[in-house]
Amino acid sequence: MWARWIVGVRASELGLRASTGGLLRVSGAGCAGRRQQERSSSEEAALKKTPLFDFHKKHGGKMVEFAGWIMPVQYKDSHIASHVHTREHCSIFDVSHMLQTKIHGKDRVKFMESLVVSDIAELKDNQSTLSLFTNEKGGIMDDLIVTKTDQGYLYVVSNAGCADKDSVHMKARLAECKVAGLDVDLEFPDEALIAVQGPAMSRVLQEGLKEDLSKLTFMTSTLATVFGIPDCRVTRCGYTGEDGVEISVHHSRVVDLTEKLLTNSEVKLAGLGARDSLRLEAGLCLYGNDIDETTTPVEAGLVWTIGKRRRQTKDFPGADVIVPQIKAKTARKRVGLVSTGPPVRQHTPILCPHGQVIGEVTSGCPSPCLKKNIAMGYVDAAFAKNGTSIQVEIRKKTLPATVSKMPFVPTNYYSG
Amino acid sequence: MAVCVLLRSFSSNFSTVLPLLTRSASRCPLQLAPKPYFGRTVASANTLVTLKFTDKHEWIRVEDDGVGTVGISNFAQEALGDVVYCGLPEVGTQLAQQDEFGALESVKAASELYSPLTGEVVEVNTLLADNPGLVNKSCYKDGWLMKMTIANPAELDSLMDEPAYERYIRSIEE
């Protein structure tokens, strides 16, 4: 057998090294969708490590390359066990590879609004929202979470695979703003980021917090001392569909924080493998697969991210392309798919019942919770209605599939 | 459900335990009854050994009736992770050595399967349809994938015996 990894991970994971014939052929994307090459140990040394790197190895983490970082794809538990544990108890994910940015200054909201589709001014203090950097063609440059803190800065978390692109983009706009006399500054803090996700999160975390966690609802953020570690930013959000938080903490304290969380027997470490199957079950897009610079927010089904005011003022990149699409609709739409039989993966062709190609899968995997195959892809708009029967082509065979609403697995966001 | 699976594995243990004991026995192709033998012998040209490996991590075991049982190695099932789907060939499929005969899928990976020898598929492990995890739990026994005729026994010599396969794994892990 020749194992092909599906999402952006390469030959060295799980101890299998590529022989000269290439034991593991890597296909598919993570962020950026490039084929990973076998690396020598010196090239591996050039990959970036989070402050939890040694900790991951000590805990049996199987390390793989992702977006220029060396990250755990799983630990000693199997992928499915780790996935299910997150849905039933609580898992910690190291997401320190993601880009964290703080935007300071009196004109920080104006600055941010010039780059994204959202109404930032209307956000309440400490409220967070999913937003999109767009380009002049109306394509999505990255998806991100922006929080309007009450500390005088906007706090932004964006994808690791777009870190260079995003920081160049923000710095270029910063330079323009400064020339125009605006008061704004960027900071890239030296902080680690962990996600603590699952129904047990609130009882696990409450033990380490003075503040009442029941008051921190989905998509709100606060500063707190967590298990004695000061200056943690705790945001009730995540990428699994479960109740959870992301905690930003100084890099020197993240091992301590993670160890303290792990003393609770309900908590286990989880890696990028489970992270991907969890987010797909929750219907959440993966940048580079499901959304990229060739997809507009309307095609991607992310119209809700576009602020009501912004639709009128059309003052974000690509607005002239995007806003008319809201009424006119688009030729293709992102949909969910469900099937049985062989799993549906990225690049699987989607066919109409008569066998014509009507789209392509952008990400897919067997769902550990549903025990069916789930996927996302783009199809011609005529086939985008939930319940539509379509086909997928896998290894030269056509198999039935059904367009499905998302999330595939009900979400459990905490609304108070 | 689980009890049924246990009983099936229990009964299959009896049928496979004898070949395992005789795995390293030197046998003449005409010999019909296996003789228990607990040592390891090195394969030689005209010997049918009962477990041989390909460089793509399939194994083939020649049964008493001359049919070859095919599966994937422990090394491969560990690398693949939890198998969730087995794509196996139809009975009657003619395969040349190294022909692709199917695929195994885990949550994150897909692996094509390549035939260790030339022959015809005579049986497929239908238990894997409802219980693909057998490939992980019992890759040499209950998780067998298919059985095939051996059209050209000399092809067995091109495969690795267990010690050679162990060495091969160690070399690619470095």
Q: For residue B121, what are the β-bridge partners? A: B148
Helix (H) or strand (E) holding B129: helix B127-130
Q: Helix (H, G, I), strand (E, B), or coil: what is residue A177?
A: helix
Q: Is residue A99 part of a domain?
A: no
Q: For residue A16, what are the β-bridge partners? A: none
Q: Is residue A68 part of a domain?
A: no
Which residues of chain A does B105 touch, with a Cβ-Cβ cutoff of 8 Å?
342-343, 366
- Which residue from A minimizes the CA distance to B133? A80
- CA A88 from chain centre, in angstroms, equals 21
Residue B35 pLDDT: 44
Q: Is residue A395 part of a domain?
A: yes
Q: Helix (H, G, I), strand (E, B), or coil: what is residue A222?
A: strand
Query: pLDDT band at B173, cuts 50/70/90?
Result: confident
Q: How many whole angstroms separate alpha carbon B46 and alpha carbon A65?
A: 46
Q: Is residue A374 part of a domain?
A: yes
Q: Is residue A192 part of a domain?
A: no
Phi and psi for A276 in degrees, rounded to 5? Answer: -75, -45
- Which residue from A minimizes the CA distance to B98? A1
Beta carbons of A1 and B114 less than 8 Å apart = yes
Cβ(A99)–Cβ(A162) under 8 Å? yes
Q: How many whole angstroms separate alpha carbon A361 and alpha carbon A396?
A: 15
Chain B residues in contact with chain A using a Cβ-Cβ cutoff of 8 Å? 55-58, 72, 75-76, 78-82, 84-85, 87, 103-114, 172-174
Q: Is residue A344 part of a domain?
A: yes
Across A24-33, A318-327, B18-27, B104-113, the highest mean pLDDT is recorded for A318-327
Count the residues in chain B.
Answer: 174
Which residues of chain B does A393 touch, with a Cβ-Cβ cutoff of 8 Å?
none
What tokens were used for A306?
A: 């576009």
Q: How many whole angstroms separate alpha carbon A45 and alpha carbon A72?
A: 16
Mutate to test the interface with A, among B107, B113, B136 (most CBs of A within 10 A): B107
List the pLDDT tens digit at each of the 416 positions of chain A: 655 544 433 333 333 322 222 223 333 333 333 333 345 566 556 899 999 999 999 999 999 999 999 999 999 999 999 999 999 999 999 999 999 999 999 999 999 999 999 999 999 999 999 999 999 999 999 999 999 999 999 999 999 999 999 999 999 999 999 999 999 999 999 999 999 999 999 999 999 999 999 999 999 999 999 999 999 999 999 999 999 999 999 999 999 999 999 999 999 999 999 999 999 999 999 999 999 999 999 999 999 999 999 999 999 999 999 999 999 999 999 999 999 999 999 999 999 999 999 999 999 999 999 999 999 999 999 999 999 999 999 999 999 999 999 999 999 999 99
Q: Is residue A352 part of a domain?
A: yes
pLDDT of B103 > 90? The answer is yes
CATH number, position A345 = 2.40.30.110
- CA dihedral of A46, A47, A50, A56, whole degrees rounded to 10: -110
Q: How many whole angstroms separate alpha carbon A147 and alpha carbon B113?
A: 49
Residue B8 pLDDT: 37
A65 is in an annotated binding site: no
User: Residue-wise over B14-52: b if at least 16 C-beta within 10 A, else e?
Assistant: eebeebeebbbbbbeeeeeebeeeeeeeebeeebbbbbb
Which residues of chain A does B174 touch, with a Cβ-Cβ cutoff of 8 Å?
17
Q: Is residue A397 part of a domain?
A: yes
Kindly report the number of other CB atoms within 10 A of residue A259's CB atom: 11
Residue A127 has what DSSP assignment? E
Domain range enclosing A392: 331-404
pLDDT of B5 > 70? The answer is no
Please tell me the total count of domains within chain A: 1
Name the pTM for this structure: 0.85
**Identity of the residue numbered A119:** D
Helices (H), strands (E): how many in chain B?
Answer: 5, 9
Pick B108's closest partner by Cβ from A6, A15, A395: A6
